[in-house]
Structure 1
Amino acid sequence: MTDCSDNDIEVLDDMSVMDESLFDGSVYESDEGDDVYFDNVEAGSSNKKSYQVDFISHSTQDLQDTQDKQINQVSSVLGLQNIEAAALLRYFQWNKEKLFERYTEAPDKVMKSAGLKSISEPSSTSSTTTTTSNSLPLKRVKHQYTCEICFDDDADMEFTALNCGHHFCNTCYEHYLRQKILEEGESRRIQCPQDQCHMVVDEHTISKLVDNKIKLRYDRLLNRTFVDDNDAFRWCPSPDCEYAVECHIPSVSLISTIPTVECGQGHKFCFGCSLSDHQPAVCSLVKKWLQKCKDDSETANWISAHTKDCPKCQSAIEKNGGCNHMTCRKCRYEFCWVCMGPWTEHRSSYYACNRFDEKSGTNARENQAKSRASLERYLHYYNRFANHEQSAKLDQDLYKKTERKMQEMQETSDLSWIEVQFLKKAVDVTVECRMTLKWTYAFAFYLEKSHQTEIFEDNQRDLEMATEQLSELLDKPLDEENITQLRQNVLDKTVYVKQRREILLDDTLNGLQEGRWKFFIEL
């Protein structure tokens, strides 16, 4: 692990041109003055850091194409229609290996379980009705059908029946499908309307019976089930974002990896728990920390540290005045706040409040001291956690100020709009580091004290100092005469801050995978 001292910070501040090896695709100014701006490192590329994971972002169309590819593959291998292959894949939650294995062993059983017509089962559709596939809308030709929902048998009505042979008029069928799709949000296994019938209504039948609005909703639900059923896919948790991310990280790896991914709209989140990026804390630690912050356990800690129990009824009492003569509001018992003895003894020859009773006083004082120490430790880490969270939110306001500063800089210098983008990127880096620092305090709260802990805290300190310095640079008012120097200082500091973050995350991840970190909780 690399460590940098305060002297390193000053050296970097004074550098006019930095070594290219420090940038890793970030910002580099060549001797000719050409700028190479911060390009995000693609996961899976040769520039991938040790704390990054491989992932692929998928749009809605990408998801549909992926499904079609798998459906065509299964259809080709098993010799089935695409509609049947799609139903089988959804039944097996898109696990092709499991599907092939089960189908090879007992094809009829698999087809029946998935709500499809068995391979050896003849179609129940009468020869006097027209049909071209497993299930299509049927128009009565010679036979008189009766709808099994409305019991109408009008000769001009059109009926639909699956291979199970249960006939329903198209009006009732459409109403049934509308309710299933719009109201119940069902798409994967919409079954025949007949009670106790498990035949699945296929996509072709649904397309024939419903209007475009319902069909669009149906297709979206199918896409959602594809992602929900597949452990390697997650929907982006950002509101109204329809991108999904594919990442092949097994759940057992989540105790030593923080799989931060990014959707096609630039939203970063953790693939393991779908929360916002929380590097360097693993998902289970984040869950415990957030629960601790919400829990009433800390309220109980405060009560234990700042209140005492009535010696008679055990009600919690807080001292709200200078007098030590306490009267419990619940049972009206009078006692001394200092020694917890009866107040009556404090007006007689039995007064002994000034004497310490080793046996009775030690445990109570030790327990209260422990509660107070535990509370102070928690507040130390929580206050810093909350401070960086709040600072990151306030830094969001910097974007508007920065945009105005960029316009002003462009007007008062010979810099182009592209050349002043370094300011926006500096704000991006600042906010990103704030969020990383925020979670370092949750991580540190559960760490057991050791030499490794001191190394972590040193990296944390260096990143915190560098982030504050960059934030101060961004807050400075624009001086027209020093624009060139300001630009160079911001570029240098931005790169240094990014480097410090990478060092911290890299060392933390390696420590997790090597088992160097010891926690006083079970992850």
Structure 2
Amino acid sequence: MEHDRGKPYSVLTRNEISVKMKKQINEISDIFFISKSDATVLLMYLRWDSLRVSERLGENKEKLLMDSGLESVVIDPNPDSSSEISLETDVYEFADDDDLISTPFCSHKFDTTYWREYLEKNFYYVEKIQTAISCPDQDCRSAVGPDTIEKLTVRDQEMYERYILRSYIEGNKVLMIKQCPARDCNYVIEFHQENDDDDEYSLNVVCLCGHIFCWRCRLESHRPVTCNKASDWLSSASRKLSDESFSLCSTKTKTVTCPHCLCSLESDTKMPQFLTCVCRLRFCSRCLRSEEAHKIEAVDSGFCVKTEVGILCEDRWNVCQNLLEQAKSDLEAFEESNIKNPSDLLREQDIMIIREGLMLIVQCRRVLKWCCVYDYFYTEYENSKEYLRYLQGNAIAALQSYSNTLQEQKDIVLTAATYEECSFFRHTIPTATSNIGNYFYDFIKTLQDGLVDVRVKSYNGGAGPLWYCDRCTYANTWHDKECEMCYYDSASLVGELSDLSLNKVS
């Protein structure tokens, strides 16, 4: 597979990952003159760190082989009958030793059915990957490698190969590899450079299956919200469904959710107006504002206005989710239409232009959906909140304008009778796609920076929400963080969209 140019990762199939794994096994086997089965056991034992395996083999080969269970063990002629096997099943009565299988390093023999149950229960169907598979006898540390598994059935061998590949992906200490979290997707993502998993905003990964997810938390792409807040929001949504189910059974207890940490505060009696949460936030139980903000609001309006902040955000979230699903449906419909009824006038480049535009709309819709969560957690002053809503409104309007333009031009080229009718489309849409991509990149960055970059003097006398540059007095919109007239070079107004995950390259 070709390397994803311009991206720090590659999307690989499981077969390609398997080839890389087998190459690593063969290298250790050839260099140190050990069997491929033993090399597999050693690499798995040391979490696929070839350098560490090489160092341990060079320093003290015998000790490493003994630690990993690759040395023959002496069987006690009078074993303790109470510790014969680790599998909690009935004791097997073996009639013929020829049908029994043991590891090359011990003489504990079991039939194929017992081996299958042991491996499935302790390894194959266990969520956590183990660094070693040992003999079923619980007092024996002899390693179970491919040379033992090959004596079992074909089904057992296939399950073992899947387990080893899973170990290579999930337990790899050297390579940064993750399975795409989309359902029924078998693609694997490999990073080629260090990625800071401690960063609040991790890189978005675009899988070949079309799914876009956050590398750090493996949730769907959730910019401009941090991983922790995305997790909190989804957890609170699940918790709310659970609370709603519980409320059907118990209606006497009153519950209020803290707007800061989302903890639930309950009261069997009349709910007091002000509550103090364990996170030390004191807030009004009616309007869910902090005590200070509540008092300011009460002074301005004369009374406490009960606001359903969470419900409003959830309603907007649901609306944005529906628009996102519609955008996905439009993309799928175009793909199906292009396959069933290909146009004679459209070139592959034209189809790619439309596809990228529709994919970008999907991603922008996802950003707007998560902006609802950003708004929910945003606790700055009211004027800053108004600016946030202003930016959201601008982003929605810009995306809708682009969506309309793309739809109009798409309808024109799909019904065009001559190549000349497609010429305007080939110039307009790529430029518009680049512009909207950069617009949303700047929009996301503004929110991730916390709206702190706008430090210019605003004037109330101007028409509309404008600010005037102190240097050239040019009137800029609130979305512009630097003067459009004297700061930006004209050539930089149209930047390149680096990829469809809204990761802009400077």
- TM-score tier by shorter-chain length is 0.5 to 0.7
Quickly say closer, same or farther: Cα 1:407–1:370, change in 2 above 3 A: closer
Does the 8 Å contact 1:166/1:194 carry over to 2?
no
Aligned to 1:175: 113
Distance 1:508 1:249 in 2: 26
Aligned to 1:260: 204
Quickly say closer, same or farther: Cα 1:505–1:215, change in 2 above 3 A: same
Of 463, 473, 491, the match for 2:395:
463
Indicate the SS of the match to 1:233: strand
Of 157, 163, 170, the match for 1:221:
163
Aligned to 2:374: 443
Q: CA deviation at 1:392?
A: 0.7
Q: CA deviation at 1:286?
A: 0.8
216-225 or 499-508, which moves further after superposition? 499-508
Q: CA deviation at 1:199?
A: 0.5
Of 286, 302, 311, the match for 2:230:
286
Q: CA deviation at 1:250?
A: 6.7
Q: Does 1:197 align with 2:197?
A: no
Distance 1:200 1:365 in 2: 60
Aligned to 1:245: 189
Correspondences of 1:151-162 after superposition (within 5 Å) = 151-152=94-95, 157=98, 160-162=101-103
Distance 1:455 1:409 in 2: 46
Quickly say closer, same or farther: Cα 1:199–1:375, change in 2 above 3 A: farther
Correspondences of 1:349-428 after superposition (within 5 Å) = 367-370=285-288, 375-399=307-331, 402=334, 415=346, 419=350, 422-428=353-359
Distance 2:17 2:340 in 1: 44
Q: Does 1:314 align with 2:252?
A: no
392-401 or 196-205, which moves further after superposition? 392-401
Q: Does 1:64 align with 2:18?
A: yes
Does the 8 Å contact 1:115/1:198 carry over to 2?
yes
Amino acid corresponding to residue 234 of structure 2 in structure 1: L
Indicate the SS of the match to 1:397: helix
Distance 2:36 2:367 in 1: 47
Quickly say closer, same or farther: Cα 1:153–1:419, change in 2 above 3 A: closer
Of 29, 37, 55, the match for 1:83:
37
Does the 8 Å contact 1:258/1:280 carry over to 2?
no
Quickly say closer, same or farther: Cα 1:82–1:515, change in 2 above 3 A: farther
Distance 1:164 1:404 in 2: 57
Aligned to 1:30: none
Aligned to 1:134: none
Q: CA deviation at 1:103?
A: 5.3
Amino acid corresponding to residue 274 of structure 1 in structure 2: R
Does the 8 Å contact 2:69/2:143 carry over to 1?
yes
Quickly say closer, same or farther: Cα 1:235–1:292, change in 2 above 3 A: same
Indicate the SS of the match to 1:269: strand
Does the 8 Å contact 2:56/2:64 carry over to 1?
yes
Amino acid corresponding to residue 435 of structure 2 in structure 1: Y
Quickly say closer, same or farther: Cα 1:251–1:381, change in 2 above 3 A: farther
Say how many residue pairs are matched.
Answer: 383
Does the 8 Å contact 1:191/1:201 carry over to 2?
yes
Indicate the SS of the match to 1:116: coil
Of 68, 93, 109, the match for 1:114:
68
Q: Deviations over 1:79-130 (max 9, x none)?
A: 5333222212211222345445555665444322322217xx8x99xxxxxx
Does the 8 Å contact 1:55/1:248 carry over to 2?
yes
Output the TM-score relative to the length of structure 1: 0.60
Quickly say closer, same or farther: Cα 1:256–1:373, change in 2 above 3 A: farther
Does the 8 Å contact 1:90/1:188 carry over to 2?
yes
| Structure with bigger gyration radius | 1
Stretches of structure 2 lacking an aligned partner (at least 5 in a row): 76-90, 125-129, 245-254, 260-266, 273-281, 290-303, 455-506
Output the TM-score relative to the length of structure 2: 0.61
Distance 2:148 2:341 in 1: 62
Q: CA deviation at 1:295?
A: 2.9
Q: CA deviation at 1:163?
A: 4.3
Quickly say closer, same or farther: Cα 1:199–1:387, change in 2 above 3 A: same
Quickly say closer, same or farther: Cα 1:195–1:508, change in 2 above 3 A: same
Does the 8 Å contact 2:224/2:445 carry over to 1?
no
Q: CA deviation at 1:175?
A: 2.0
Distance 1:500 1:398 in 2: 22
Distance 2:143 2:377 in 1: 51
Indicate the SS of the match to 2:115: helix
Stretches of structure 1 lacking an aligned partner (at least 5 in a row): 1-40, 49-53, 125-147, 305-310, 318-363, 518-523
Aligned to 1:334: none
Q: CA deviation at 1:287?
A: 0.7
Indicate the SS of the match to 2:15: helix
Distance 1:453 1:76 in 2: 64
Does the 8 Å contact 1:103/1:110 carry over to 2?
yes
Distance 1:385 1:278 in 2: 12
Distance 1:403 1:107 in 2: 57
Indicate the SS of the match to 2:222: coil
Q: CA deviation at 1:229?
A: 0.7
Aligned to 1:503: 442
Q: CA deviation at 1:277?
A: 1.8
Quickly say closer, same or farther: Cα 1:84–1:405, change in 2 above 3 A: closer
Distance 1:458 1:266 in 2: 31
Q: CA deviation at 1:214?
A: 2.5
Does the 8 Å contact 1:260/1:269 carry over to 2?
yes
Distance 1:384 1:238 in 2: 25
Does the 8 Å contact 2:286/2:307 carry over to 1?
no
Indicate the SS of the match to 2:224: coil
Q: CA deviation at 1:61?
A: 2.1
389-398 or 415-424, which moves further after superposition? 415-424
Distance 2:350 2:192 in 1: 38
Does the 8 Å contact 1:269/1:277 carry over to 2?
yes
Indicate the SS of the match to 1:162: coil
| Structure possessing the higher relative contact order (Cα contacts under 8 Å, 6 or more residues apart) | 1
Distance 1:316 1:95 in 2: 58
Indicate the SS of the match to 1:198: coil
Does the 8 Å contact 1:235/1:244 carry over to 2?
yes
Q: Deviations over 1:398-450 (max 9, x none)?
A: 24654698799987x95557535544433222111101121223234333427
Indicate the SS of the match to 1:57: strand
